[in-house]
Structure 1
Amino acid sequence: MLMFLKERTAPLLLERLPRLLHRLPKSHASYEDVVLDHYKVRAGFGGEQHVDGLLKRMRWHDPVMALAVFQLCDRFCQMDTVLLTSHGAVVLEVKNYSGTLSFDEQSYHMKQETRDGKFLGFNSPVTQVWNAREELLHLFEQLSISLPVYPVVVLPYSSTLIEGAPKEVPVIYGYSLNRFLSTLPRTERIMPPEELARLAQLLIDHHTPFPKKDFPAMYRYEVNSLVKGVLCSACGSRCERRSERVHACIRCEATVIDGYARALDDWFEFVSPEISNAECREFLGLKDHYAAKYVLVKMGLGRCGKGRAVRYFRE
C-alpha cells in the first residue's frame, strides 16, 4: 500500500512566471528567459505528476510512505520524490526531457539533442540524485536511522532516448519503475509500519522550503522596466478603473476584481518586499498620495517609519 504523506503541489513559479511575463515587456532582454523557464517548470511538473500516477497505480505488497518535493534548504538539496519502504529509501529524480540524452561519465555532464536538432548542455541529473542520496544518508545518520538509500533518475515518457547510460546510477523510464523497485535488495531487518510512519514524519519535520526568489536578480531588470498599473490576469493588457473594486481589460473586456491589490502583489513579488506611498502612486497610476494611502491602508499592510519615510509591507 502506497501513501503520500506529503503530496505534490504545483510549483509557485508555475503561477508567478506568467504574471512576470505580463509585467515584463516582450522587448526586454530577459523576456525569452522567463518564457523558457516557465516551459521547463510546466514540463517538469507534468512529468512528476505522471510518475506520481504510475506509483499510485502500482500493486504494493508492503507499506510504502512517499514524500513529494522534499527539500533540505540548508544544503540546497531538493528531491522530487522519496519512497520509504521497510527495506530502504528510494530517491526519484524525475526529468522530463524530449529528444536524445547523452551521458558523459568522464565529465559527469549530460547533453540533450532536441527534436529539432539543437544541442543543449546540462548538469547531470545523475550527479544531482547522487548528491541527494548523500544528504539523505547524512540525515539518517543524524536521526540514528539505519536504512540504505537507492538513487534513480526517472524519465517519465519512453519517447526520450538515452545514449551512454551511466552505470553508477540507474536511468530508467517511468513504466519500468515497478520492475526496478522489485529488484532492490531486501534487508533481513524489516522496518515495522509504525516505525516507517515515524521516520516519514521525522523527514517532514526536516523539510525546509527554499527562500523567496529574487526575481530582479534572476532576470536582470529594473523596476522602471516593468509595465505599471492594473493588468488583466487573462491577457496581460492594461485595465481601466470602473469602480473602487472593479477594473475592466481594455483588450478582452474581462472584469478584474480588486485590481489594485493584485497589482501590489506583483510589486511585493517582483520588485521589493516594501513599498512607499510615492512608489505605490506611480506603480498603480493613482492621482495623488491620498488615493495611494487609501489603497495601502485598505490592504491591511504592516508599516514602519514615520512621515514621508513610511514604508508598507505584507505581514
Structure 2
Amino acid sequence: MLYVRKKPIVLEKLEAIVPRLAPQHPSYSKVEHALAKEWKGFIGEKKVDFFLQQLDDRFTILSGIYLRVHDSNFQIDTLVISPQALYIIEVKNYNGTITFDTTLQQFFRNDGLQEKGYRYPITQAELQKSHLENWLLERSHAEIPIYYFIAIAEPSTIIQVKGDEQAIARVVSHGEHIASKIWEIEQSIQGTNTIEQQKIEQLIRSANRSQTHNVLDKYMIKKTDILPGVVCSICGKIGMERIHGAWKCPHCQGISSTNHLKAINDYLLLINHEISNQECMRFLGIKSHSVVTRLLKGSNLSYNHTNRKWIKKS
C-alpha cells in the first residue's frame, strides 16, 4: 500500500512565517513554538503512517480529515477504511513517560524535567467517533462500525496506567502495533458486516473541508510585518540576490536556481492567493519585469488575463 501524508497547511504557513518575521516581533517566540509543535505532530503522524503500510490494499488510509456536523467542525488525524469498519487513529508524539488516569480521566507527560497535564486522549477520540457517527447518520449510513485507537508515535515512550489497564490497552499502543490491532478486530467481526467502502471513501473525500488557518490573525501579525525577499535554503537567512540567472546568498555565499519558487509560494500562502508581476518584483527584490515574468511562467502557476495575476493551478 503506497500512502503519502501531505504537510498540513498550518505547518506550511508557520514555516513560511518564521524566516520572514523580525526576531523582535512580539509574536516571534510564539510562532517559533507553534512551528516546533506542529512539526513534532507531523513527524509523529508520519512515523505511525510507516507502520500502517503493513495493511494491504483492502484498506484505505485517509489523513487530515476535517468535516462539519451540527454546525461544528471536527478533525481526525488518520482514518482507516476497511471493507467492514472505520478506524479512527489519534496520534500522540510524546517523549519520556506518559500516564493515563482512568479514574479521573487525566493524562500526564513527564519528560524527566517536569510533569505536565494534557487533554485526556480517550475523551478526544470518543468525541471524534461521536461526530463521525452523526456525520454518517446525516448521510444515511448509520450502521457502520467505528473503532478508535490512540497511537503513541515514539517507540521509546513509556506508557503507564493508573486504574483500568485493560481498558487502556485495548485502545492505546505504540504506533507499530496499531496495524495488528486493526487486524484483530477485522478477524473478530469477519462476516458480520460489509460496508460500501468506496462510497464511504468518496463521501468523506468530497466533504473534506480545507482548513484555512488564518495564522497571521491568530498571532496578531500584519501582512506588512512579513519581510519580502528570497530565503536561503542553506543558512535560512533572507535576502538572496539575483546574479547571473541564479540566486546567491550574501551571508553564506550559497547558490540556488530555484529558491524563488519557495518565496512565491510564501507570498501566496501568507499575503494573497494571487500575485501580479509588479507584486512579485517587489517581493523577490527584482527590478526587471521580463525576468520576473520568466520566473512566474516557470513556477507552475496559471495566469488570469482578466486581472493580470498569477494563481496556483487547481
Instruction: Please classify the TM superposition score into its range, dividing by the shorter chain length.
Output: 0.7 to 0.9
Return the offset for 1:98.
1.5
Structure 2 unaligned blocks of 5 or more: 297-301
Stretches of 4+ moved more than 6 A in 1? none
- CA–CA separation in structure 1 for the residues paired with 2:99 and 2:132: 27
Alpha carbons of structure 1 residues 97 and 284: separation in structure 2 relative to 1, 3 Å: same
- CA–CA separation in structure 2 for the residues paired with 1:108 and 1:213: 30
> Residue 29 of structure 1: SS of its match in structure 2?
coil
- CA–CA separation in structure 2 for the residues paired with 1:252 and 1:10: 28
- CA–CA separation in structure 1 for the residues paired with 2:210 and 2:120: 21
- CA–CA separation in structure 2 for the residues paired with 1:70 and 1:64: 20
Question: Normalising by structure 1, what TM-score?
Answer: 0.75
Give the root-mean-square deviation of aligned CA atoms: 3.7
Alpha carbons of structure 1 residues 145 and 298: separation in structure 2 relative to 1, 3 Å: same
- CA–CA separation in structure 2 for the residues paired with 1:278 and 1:37: 32
Q: Does 1:31 align with 2:28?
A: yes
The amino acid across from 2:252 in the alignment is: C
Alpha carbons of structure 1 residues 178 and 67: separation in structure 2 relative to 1, 3 Å: closer
1:172 match: 173
2:257 match: 257
Q: Does 1:239 align with 2:240?
A: yes
Q: Does 1:212 align with 2:208?
A: no
Alpha carbons of structure 1 residues 150 and 258: separation in structure 2 relative to 1, 3 Å: closer
CA contact (8 A) 1:86 1:190 kept: no
Return the offset for 1:128.
2.4
> Residue 53 of structure 2: SS of its match in structure 1?
helix
The amino acid across from 2:47 in the alignment is: H
CA contact (8 A) 1:165 1:171 kept: no
Alpha carbons of structure 1 residues 135 and 252: separation in structure 2 relative to 1, 3 Å: same
- CA–CA separation in structure 2 for the residues paired with 1:84 and 1:275: 40
> Residue 98 of structure 2: SS of its match in structure 1?
strand
Return the offset for 1:69.
0.8
Structure 1 unaligned blocks of 5 or more: 306-310
Alpha carbons of structure 1 residues 303 and 212: separation in structure 2 relative to 1, 3 Å: farther
Return the offset for 1:241.
1.9
- CA–CA separation in structure 1 for the residues paired with 2:262 and 2:79: 36
Return the offset for 1:182.
5.5
Alpha carbons of structure 1 residues 26 and 281: separation in structure 2 relative to 1, 3 Å: same
Larger deviation: 159-168 or 246-255?
159-168
Question: Normalising by structure 2, what TM-score?
Answer: 0.75
Percent of aligned pairs sharing the same letter: 23
CA contact (8 A) 1:71 1:210 kept: no
Q: Does 1:133 align with 2:129?
A: yes
Q: Give the counterpart of 2:145 among 148, 156, 164.
A: 148
- CA–CA separation in structure 1 for the residues paired with 2:282 and 2:28: 23
- CA–CA separation in structure 2 for the residues paired with 1:7 and 1:265: 21
1:295 match: 292
> Residue 76 of structure 1: SS of its match in structure 2?
strand
> Residue 265 of structure 2: SS of its match in structure 1?
helix
Number of residue pairs aligned between Structure 1 and Structure 2: 297
1:122 match: 118
CA offset digits 1:32-88 (Å, max 9, x no partner): 333333322332233223223333336x7xx74132315133343222222334443
CA offset digits 1:168-191 (Å, max 9, x no partner): 883323344356445548347444
The amino acid across from 2:146 in the alignment is: V
- 1:1-315 alignment runs, 5 A limit: 3=1, 7-57=4-54, 64-74=58-68, 75-103=72-100, 110-117=107-114, 119-141=115-137, 142-144=139-141, 146-156=143-153, 157-164=155-162, 167=167, 170-177=171-178, 180-181=181-182, 184=185, 186-187=188-189, 189-191=191-193, 196-237=196-237, 238-243=239-244, 245-257=245-257, 260=260, 262-274=262-274, 282-287=282-287, 291=288, 295=292, 299=296, 301-302=303-304, 312=309, 314=311
Alpha carbons of structure 1 residues 28 and 160: separation in structure 2 relative to 1, 3 Å: farther
Return the offset for 1:199.
4.1
